Amino acid sequence: MEFVKIMGHIFISYSHKDREYIHKLAETLQASGLDVWIDDRIDYGTRWSLVIEDAIDRCDSFILVASENSRQSEWVQHEVARAKRLDKPFFPILLNGRPWLIFESTQYYEVREGNLPGEKFINALRRLELSRFEYYRLVAEQYWPVYRNDKYKFSIHYPGEGEFSETDNYVHIRLPKLQGTDHDTREFSIHFRTDHFLSDKLINRSLMDDQHRYVDIRYVEIFGLTFLRELEHDGGMSRQHQHIIYSTALNSTVVTVSFHLAIVDPGVYSLGPGRIVKVDQEAEKEIVMYSVCSFTWLY
């Protein structure tokens, strides 16, 4: 099965002069289980414009925080133009000033005096996210085998290709490497236990031991279930490693679904003669979402 890049997060376009309000808005949306992208995710040294382009291209929906500050921002104007050209679902929030011509004839949300948008706004965003989750689940159920565990009382679909191994509390699938690419390792796993500890030990270790690793931890809601989502990017031994981990719990049972992608760093190591052909990393990381969206407790 070929994985395609599916839309993902909610992109917020804003002026950095309105940063205080933006952080409150992002925290509110994240507390509602929504996946929000603002440009403080960008690591130093990254090509800023390319990262923003990709984030807009992959977003489920586009929030414009309109203010007198953002009206004067050249970056915001470019972001809005790209979102409109890609026909992204558009959610203007009017923080202050007058409505802009680009959204004056459509519905917008007024949040003057720093108020946060209400439940109607959040529900509109959630409906778009739900359609993406439904797509993931439909594809997984149609193309992937199901793993059912009656002891821990859950079922989940998993990638049908690769080397499958199983223990009393662990399923591991070593997915085939994509020949001719910069992929070195592709691993999928399901871990189930009753230790009450939701966060992954690997992520906790990296937070304590290495300040240079990029770690993003937040809660997301998928089909009424709350997952702790942990993302980690790090490097070592001529490889770049990415871990995507989703954990959920019911009573004392914890189930963790994770995907590990290791990529050869072409600046340090070469697979051999010729140029290393890269593969869309974001599409690859969608593998774990297909599985997570098919997860069901058997209670």
Q: Are 299 and 153 in contact (CB under 8 A)?
A: yes
Model pTM score: 0.72
Q: What is the pLDDT of residue 5?
A: 45
Q: What is the pLDDT of residue 235?
A: 64
Q: In the block, which residue shows the tokens 């109607």?
A: 120
Q: In the block, which residue shows the tokens 């382009």?
A: 53
Q: Are 116 and 24 in contact (CB under 8 A)?
A: yes
Which parts of the chain are beta strand (E)? Answer: 10-13, 36-37, 61-66, 90-94, 109-110, 146-149, 154-157, 163-166, 170-174, 183-193, 214-222, 225-236, 239-250, 253-264, 296-297
Q: Are 202 and 243 in contact (CB under 8 A)?
A: yes
Q: Are 64 and 91 in contact (CB under 8 A)?
A: yes
Spell out the domains of the chain, with CATH numbers in brackets.
10-138 (3.40.50.10140), 145-297 (2.60.120.1690)
Q: What is the pLDDT of residue 21?
A: 94
pLDDT tens track for 102-152 = 887 778 888 887 889 988 999 888 888 888 889 999 999 999 999 999 999
In the three-class reduction of DSSP (H, G, I as helix; E, B as strand; rest coil), residue 67 is classed as coil
* 212 vs 12, higher pLDDT: 12
Which two structure tokens, joined as six digits, stand for 278? 């890269």
In the three-class reduction of DSSP (H, G, I as helix; E, B as strand; rest coil), residue 138 is classed as helix
Q: At what angle do helices 48-58 and 74-85 cross, to 10 degrees?
A: 40
- Write down the mean pLDDT value for the chain: 82
Mean pLDDT across the stretch 55-63? 88
